[in-house]
A and B are shown apart, each in its own frame.
Chain A
Amino acid sequence: MSTDTHKLLLADDDMDDCMFFKEALEELPLATELTTVNDGVELMQFLNASVANLPHLLFLDLNMPLKAGFQCLVEIKENKKLKALPVIIYSTSMDHEVVNTLYEKGAHYYICKPPEFSLLKKVIQEVLTIIMQNDAARPPREKFIIQVQ
């Protein structure tokens, strides 16, 4: 992976979380370009329109109106043109079964939204680093959840 600008896509309906994410990215020493969509339908439309020029990474919130994040993950991974896109689940719950299913459906990593801004910065950095190191390969299940303290 080159040190070009990372094109990141964030799908989250929560305005605050979008603001946190954006500010966190700005404070990180990484070259990033962020696009935000606010619901599942908008996400799929955006992706299908950007097939020739997909983002490097998708941060996907699970609880979105119109179409939930889970459904979007499934659709992306079943779409030949989209399935290469690494999907980072960015959510608040920690249900074991849900997490397992997300892993099975092809998500790359799972991040629980941290309650502190500093932790948020940390976890974003960690994800980007790992992705870059592993060349966007999927991790084993034990490493699926990224937790920071």
Chain B
Amino acid sequence: MGKLTREKAWGKTYLGPPHTWPQSLRTTLSIILNSKFPMFLFWGNELTCFYNDAYRPSLGREGKHPSILGMRGEDAWPEIWDIIKPLIDRVLAGGEATWSEDQLIPIFRNGKIEDVYWTFSYSPVNDESGKPAGVFVTCTESTEKINLLKQLENSNEELAFAIEATELGTWDYNPLTNKFSGNKRLKKWFGLMSHTEIELHHAINTIAAEDRDRVSAAIQKALDNSSGGNYDIEYTIIDPVSKKERIVHAKGRAWFDETNRPSRFNGTLEDVTEQTIARRKFENLFKEIEQHREKLNIVVNASELATWEMNLKTREIHYSDKYLEIMGYENGTALTHPQILKHLHPDDLPVREKAFEDAFSNGILSYETRIIWKDGSMHWTEVRGKVFYDEDGGPSHLIGTVRDITNEKDLTNKMEKLVEERTKELILSNESLKKSEQRYHLMVEEVQDYAILYLNREGIVENWNTGAEKIKGYKADEIIGKNFSNFYTKEDRESNLPQTLLNLAVQTGRAGQEGWRVRKDGSYFWASIVITAVHDEKGNVIGFSKVTHDLTDKKNTDDALKKNAWELEQKNIELEKMNKELQSFAYVSSHDLQEPLRKIQTFASRILEKENENLSEQGKELFSRMQGSAKRMQALINDLLAYSRTHTSERKLEETDLIKIVEQVKLELKEELQQKQASIEISALCPVRIVQFQFQQLLYNLISNSLKFSKPGHPPLIKIKSEIVEGISMGNPALALGTKYCHVSVSDNGIGFEQQYNEKIFELFQRLHGRMEYPGTGIGLAIVKKIVENHNGIITAKAELNKGATFDIYIPVA
């Protein structure tokens, strides 16, 4: 450049020839031209351009070199003049020097506008006057640097992109500072803040507890120079946020300095969770398959199956040892397919062909054929197989089994023969069964008075007979298939009676019941039913037979009887009531009737006593007769009362000694007995079951009669005796056969009576004598008879005029 500068024709330029140049310019130029650093100068008003060799490269080729030497600045740099002119002006104006770094100022060079980066400084150059006359430019082109930086940036971007694409985490550990950092992803995995560096042991804490020692050991090994610095390990980390496990594969390298100390340790971290899980699954699956295979082998070996496999394309066959056994060969023999086919029984070849045809259409091979061994023996084999297809869907393999079924076949044949015979037998017995069934059917069918049905286990009617139709009103097709509860009343159904009866039949074998049932037309009938459980050979209940009998008529009769009995009882109760009323009526009325009579007598006797002197004999006589009438009436009332009481009083039968009763009566009649000098003889009195006071009344009446009807002048002798007799022996038809009686007889020596009156005397109010002859009401013997009848006994009387009378009383003993 020095040369060029010297040799330039400066005379034509603004500056003129060099010797006119000021010293400052010359000095500056000499600095510039001698410097190895790129420099440029704008001098003077025209900002004439000067530059050195070092600067030249920046101008490129086909550009401004060397033309811009001595040119006006504006002419030299038109493309950037608006950028640099302000800077030049500033400097010339006395301002400070400028500094621009890495500034993009595109210039024309190498035939085009190029992007050029400059680092430059404009500084003022003063002339002799001390004012800035030019601008001194020191500059370097930093285009390369910038381009490199850009490239580096791009590379980094690409790298990051690549790393991002690979989904790797990158980590970097500085062993000197013990600090650990990584890319965004790694930091995320380790739960680190994206801008931090952390200490190594923090990072290790993220590792799963069981892996920590292993990882630490691997790190230590890598950091040891002797290991070569390699680091390759898989471990599990636990995401600090989600707590999810992440299996990672760490690969890295340690870098060592001259002293073999680790200076750098970095690498990648790959998330292999999915692969690891998949791989583990696969390993498990593989294990399982192995196990299954083993099992299969065991099973196959245990069975009699031989396995075989045929490649359908090459017709090659593989087979198990058992296969050879079945074919009748020794272990180790090699068999080809054609050889095998030769053993097939010729008649069975079509069977095999057809089976293969079917197999190719539906994928399953299955047939049985005979084979003939080398030694001529015949065996049956069963072949099973499955077709396997290749990717094109064409059959590629046939895999299957073979089994020797010779024994089974023999058995099968035998069985078939047996079955045939059996079937013949069954047909025969079926026919006879049908016949007997028909007979039974007819038997049951035609019965009319009983409904005989068959119910199944649930109570559905399955059979029907004529009797059922008659009794219940349904035809067979109307009721078969329906539940038998249809025959029951609504109330019985609600109280679950049908099911209860079935259950009872199941438990005890049969259930019987009487109750109302409903006919088809809704009318009721009274039925007597029996449900019997029917069993199979094992004893399970399979159904029920039901027999129904229509008892409506009988029931009506029974009901009528019951009603009658009830009415009877009601009448009885009424009668008793009436009786009681009557009794109290009788008692009261007799009492009330008696009282005035008593008064009449008492008053009469009082008058007779008191007015004795005032009364005439006739008067006294009249009073006396009045008294007599009253007395008679009193006697009558008493007797009537006694008579009524024999009907109505309680019958308390007691075993009594008659002597006691007689003694009581003797007491009662003491005066009379004494008066008449009568005697009573008692002999052999057996105890007898009687109502005591009634019997006392009876004896009183009989004995007082005997006293009354005694012969004048003959002291009465009354004999009373009793004995046990058999009813039959007395010759009295009224005495029941086979009953024992106590026979009490009371006899006297009085006036007796004519035998023809022996029944009349017992009638009420009947007398054999007038009142003037013998007093009496005619009730006494009626009372006696009533009392005897109360005791379920009999009384008879026999007598002879003037000889006396005997009364025979028979009282049943038991």
Contact = CB atoms under 8 A, between A and B. Distances in A.
Contacts of B667: 142
B693 A116 contact: no
A97 interface: yes
A113 B591 contact: no
A115 B693 contact: no
A92 B595 contact: yes
B597 A96 contact: no
A116 B609 CA distance: 10
Contact of B602 (A95, A120, A142): A120
B631 interface: yes
A92 B602 contact: no
A118 B609 contact: yes
A97 to B, nearest CB: 7
A115 B591 contact: no
Interface in A1-29: 14, 16, 20
B671 interface: yes
A142 B668 CA distance: 11
B656 to A, nearest CB: 15
B143 interface: no
B595 A115 contact: no
B671 A20 contact: no
A48 interface: no
Interface in B615-653: 630-631, 634
B651 to A, nearest CB: 13
B598 interface: yes
Nearest to B588: A63
Contact of B598 (A96, A115, A118): A115
B671 A92 contact: no
A93 B587 CA distance: 9
A53 interface: no
A142 B631 CA distance: 27
A93 B605 CA distance: 21
Give the contact-size bracket for chain A.
10 to 19
A97 B446 CA distance: 72
Contacts of A116: 601-602, 605
B634 A115 contact: yes
B441 interface: no
Contacts of B601: 115-116
A92 B601 CA distance: 14
A149 B605 contact: no
- Of A93, A115, A116, A149, the most chain B CB neighbours within 10 A belong to A115
Interface residues of B, number: 19
B354 interface: no
Given A63-B591, A92-B594, A115 B602 contact: yes
Nearest to B590: A93
A113 B591 CA distance: 12
A20 B602 contact: yes
A103 to B, nearest CB: 14
Interface in B576-615: 587, 591, 594-595, 597-599, 601-603, 605-606, 609
- Of A97, A116, A120, the most chain B CB neighbours within 10 A belong to A116
A92 B598 contact: yes
A97 B645 CA distance: 12
Contacts of B634: 115
Nearest to B594: A92
A118 B608 CA distance: 11
A149 B594 CA distance: 18
B698 to A, nearest CB: 13
Interface string A110-149: 0001111110100000000000000000000010000001
A135 B630 CA distance: 38
A92 B591 contact: yes
B734 to A, nearest CB: 30
B580 to A, nearest CB: 15
A118 B591 CA distance: 22
A93 B602 CA distance: 16
A43 to B, nearest CB: 20
A149 B671 contact: yes
A149 B668 CA distance: 12
Nearest to B668: A147
Given A93-B591, A142-B667, A115 B597 contact: yes
B797 to A, nearest CB: 26
Contacts of B671: 149
Given A92-B591, A96-B693, A117 B598 contact: no
A73 B373 CA distance: 133
Contacts of B598: 92, 113, 115
Contacts of A97: 693
A128 B603 CA distance: 24
A96 B650 CA distance: 13
A16 B598 CA distance: 11
Contacts of B693: 96-97
A117 B594 contact: no
Nearest to A14: B595
Contacts of A63: 591
A49 to B, nearest CB: 30
B716 to A, nearest CB: 19
Interface in A52-103: 63, 92-93, 95-97
B546 to A, nearest CB: 63
B642 to A, nearest CB: 10
A32 B693 CA distance: 38
Contacts of B609: 117-118
B605 A118 contact: yes
Nearest to B667: A142
The 9 A-B pairs with the shortest beta carbon distances in the complex, nearest first, are A115-B601, A116-B605, A117-B606, A115-B598, A117-B605, A96-B693, A117-B602, A16-B599, A115-B602
27 contacts: A14-B595, A16-B599, A16-B602, A16-B603, A20-B602, A20-B606, A63-B591, A92-B591, A92-B595, A92-B598, A93-B591, A96-B693, A97-B693, A115-B598, A115-B601, A115-B602, A115-B605, A115-B631, A116-B602, A116-B605, A117-B602, A117-B605, A117-B606, A117-B609, A118-B605, A142-B667, A149-B671
Given A14-B595, A116-B601, 17 more contacts: A16-B599, A20-B602, A20-B606, A63-B591, A92-B595, A92-B598, A93-B591, A95-B587, A96-B693, A115-B597, A115-B602, A115-B630, A115-B631, A116-B605, A117-B605, A118-B609, A142-B667
Interface of A: 14, 16, 20, 63, 92-93, 95-97, 113-118, 120, 142, 149
Interface of B: 587, 591, 594-595, 597-599, 601-603, 605-606, 609, 630-631, 634, 667, 671, 693
